[in-house]
Amino acid sequence: MALKHVNAVIVGAGAGGGVAASQLAAAGLSVVLLERGKWYTAADCRKDDLRNQRTSVLGNNSGPDEERNPRVAVDLNGQERVVLPSEGSYSNNAACVGGGTFTYGAQAWRYQEKDFRMAATYGVPEGSTLSDWPISYAELEPYYEKAEYEIGVSGDVSADPFHGPRRLPLPMPPLPVNREYAILKPAAQRAGLHPFDIPMLRNSVPYGGRPPCMQCRWCVGFACEVNAKCGTQNTAIPAALATGNCELRTGCMVREVMTDARGRSTGVAYYDADDKLREQTADIVIVSSAAVESARLLLNSKSKLHPAGLGNRYGWVGRNLQGHTYTGAWGIFDFDTYDDIGPGANIAVCDYNHGNPGLIGGAMLANEFIRLPYQFVGALPPGVPQWGRAHKDFMRQWYRRSIAIQGPTQEIPIADSRVEVDPKVKDFWGLPVARLSGGKHPKTMETSVAMADKAEAWLKAAGAIRTWKKLAGNGTSGGQHQAGTCRMGDDPRTSVVDKYCRVHDQDNLYVIDGSVHVTNGGFNPVLTIMAIAYYATERIVKGWKGRGV
């Protein structure tokens, strides 16, 4: 059944989609924002250490539904398995209004200048698809600033000499620090590093009509009870709705992007909250479903003129799936490091993001968010058994006397790390599910090991009496920092969207989310996703001449 035609339909109310909706609606376009998940409040998602977006052993707290949304994961030996959202190899982010930003850790990083020019800086290693972005840090800078001020970021990066030039400081000061910060900061300084307060999409003072953070223990993976964590669900999306130009429809699972006889996008077909098939036509279609589902949606949008899916003439949709290879180290101390002051992560160094001899890229290193007791269970040094009296002793002795430092190693993209649609497995609505496969480039693994060494050295400098590394496997990438599956580029034969996020062979179809990242920086990705959404929609608005753009 057809619904009233609108100017723009956006698929996914997460980081990219939420920001896009706010900008188009503010410019006067009529917008429908479709989200497969619900609009939760913190009251719907209790602080449950076994059931959240970080630790989902008993399920997720903000979607997607466990029964309706399987995926297929293929491991490095070619073994394939149907996986559910609560399993690690599913690469879940979230399904709700706000998407990942509803429960994220809220680290708000700008990528560095070199992160946009990885191939120019390091060359293209064999077996990789490493490439430069078609845009530079300088071009994105005003939009980073806009994201920081519109959504709200606290912190203090003035002591970080490695970040790109910025016009303004962050809009909010950092939160009061915790004991880990007091231990780690002088140690880093003694070691010649440049520690500073992590920028966070979290209110440290009243901002945007919402109160400051109360520094609780349950932040990453959880909804914020006082709305101090800034996601699109409490910033951009309410702003979009307040214009009167945007309608948000939840529980709506988009099935495909529709095209006309000439192959041009005309809108989307979706299953509404009652599982009825609907058609929403629009002048502009924006896919913002996060890297795995955006690729899946394009691949599932097949037609005579697009037999391999939309935007996929050269077979690039779904390739270059990347996230971050997280490595780091644990350290234990002969005094308490734990003081129950959240969110935990607060101090970082960017000394190792680039310039590591013989390596490509690197990672920002930071202390980890507060570890809930169950999360500490697996943090064992070599030699401590996984069960029995010694394990219990280990827990009791060291839980309050440990610090973890880790970092998101920038991944070198490869074509074989990819999202496809599975030929057999279908979801609840009968749509082919995402199939994830591929591994990591050896250079990624090399850098990730070096980052673990650096983390360990920092802990030693801080007085840890014992340290050990946390290393990563080379299996399929993706995860909560999923990106890269519809990469941006000037050449339609080697990329999916142009430098303004428009799908190459389409004049009114856009991808605005982590999918367009050419490379993913040595940082958590969300501020870049938001910045790109401001940047891309500004261009759409400037070119907007009414219907039939």
Ligand X SMILES: Cc1cc2nc3c(=O)[nH]c(=O)nc-3n(C[C@H](O)[C@H](O)[C@H](O)COP(=O)(O)OP(=O)(O)OC[C@H]3O[C@@H](n4cnc5c(N)ncnc54)[C@H](O)[C@@H]3O)c2cc1C
Under the binding rule (CB under 8 A), the answer on residue 215 touching another protein is yes
Which span (66-74, 98-106, 238-246, 324-332) binds ligand X, by CB under 6 A?
Answer: 98-106
Q: What is the DSSP letter of 479?
A: G
> Which residues are CB-neighbours of 297 under 8 A, at least 6 positions away?
11, 254, 256, 257, 287, 289
Residue in the structure block whose two tokens are 């029964």: 67
Under the binding rule (CB under 8 A), the answer on residue 159 touching another protein is no
Under the binding rule (CB under 8 A), the answer on residue 82 touching another protein is no
User: 49 is in the binding site of which of another protein, ligand X, ligand SF4, none (Cβ under 5 to 8 A by kind)?
Assistant: another protein
Residue 70 has which token pair? 């399987």
Angle, nearest 10°, between helix axes 179-190 and 442-461? 100
Measured CA to CA in angstroms, residue 76 lies from 8, 294, 436, 476 at distances of: 40, 24, 11, 8
Under the binding rule (CB under 6 A), the answer on residue 177 touching ligand SF4 is no
Measured CA to CA in angstroms, residue 545 lies from 8, 67, 164, 434, 506 at distances of: 13, 44, 35, 36, 17
CA angle centred on 407, ends 224 and 218, rounded to 5°: 20
Under the binding rule (CB under 8 A), the answer on residue 549 touching another protein is no
Determine the 3-state secondary structure of 196 from DSSP: strand
Site string for ligand X, 193-222 (x = CB under 6 A): ---------------------------xx-
Measured CA to CA in angstroms, residue 405 lies from 75, 140, 489 at distances of: 28, 29, 35
Under the binding rule (CB under 6 A), the answer on residue 405 touching ligand X is no
Site string for ligand X, 239-258 (x = CB under 6 A): -------------xxx----
User: 229 is in the binding site of which of another protein, ligand SF4, ligand X, none (Cβ under 5 to 8 A by kind)?
Assistant: ligand SF4
Judged by CB under 8 A, which of 3, 124, 205, 216 binds another protein? 216
Under the binding rule (CB under 6 A), the answer on residue 228 touching ligand X is no
Is-contact 52 60, C-beta < 8 A? yes
Nearer of residues 94 and 130 to another protein, judged by Cβ: 94
Radius of gyration of the chain measured on its C-alpha atoms:
22
Query: How many residues belong to the site for ligand SF4 (CB under 6 A)?
Result: 13
Is-contact 524 299, C-beta < 8 A? no
| Positive or negative torsion for Cα 495, 500, 506, 512 | positive
User: For residue 296, which phi and psi values (nearest 5 degrees)?
Assistant: -60, -45
Under the binding rule (CB under 6 A), the answer on residue 481 touching ligand X is yes
For the chain, the maximum distance between any two Cα atoms, rounded to a whole number of angstroms, is: 71
User: 472 is in the binding site of which of ligand X, ligand SF4, another protein, none (Cβ under 5 to 8 A by kind)?
Assistant: none
- Nearest CA-CA partner of 426 in 54, 82, 172: 82
Under the binding rule (CB under 6 A), the answer on residue 22 touching ligand X is no
253-259 and 265-271 beta bridge pairing: antiparallel
Determine the 3-state secondary structure of 328 from DSSP: strand
Site string for ligand SF4, 318-347 (x = CB under 6 A): ------------------------xx----
Residue in the structure block whose two tokens are 């690690």: 88
Q: What is the DSSP letter of 114?
A: G
Nearer of residues 229 and 296 to ligand SF4, judged by Cβ: 229
The count of other CB atoms within 10 Å of the CB of residue 466 is: 14
Judged by CB under 8 A, which of 203, 227, 477, 495 binds another protein? 227
Which span (52-60, 218-226, 266-274, 396-404) binds ligand SF4, by CB under 6 A?
Answer: 218-226
Is-contact 519 297, C-beta < 8 A? no
CA angle centred on 200, ends 196 and 205, rounded to 5°: 100
Site string for another protein, 360-379 (x = CB under 8 A): -------------xx-xx--
Per CB under 8 A, contacts with another protein among 40-59 are 41-43, 47-50, 57-59
Nearer of residues 228 and 461 to ligand X, judged by Cβ: 228
Under the binding rule (CB under 8 A), the answer on residue 39 touching another protein is yes
Judged by CB under 6 A, which of 3, 177, 205, 216 binds ligand SF4? 216
The contact set with ligand SF4 (CB under 6 A) reads 202, 213-216, 219, 222, 224, 226, 228-229, 342-343
The contact set with ligand X (CB under 6 A) reads 11-17, 34-37, 53-54, 93-96, 99-101, 103-107, 220-221, 252-254, 288-290, 293, 297, 480-481, 513-514, 524-526, 529
The contact set with another protein (CB under 8 A) reads 39, 41-43, 47-50, 57-59, 86, 176-179, 182, 211, 214-218, 225-227, 338-342, 373-374, 376-377, 386-389, 391-393, 395-396, 399-400
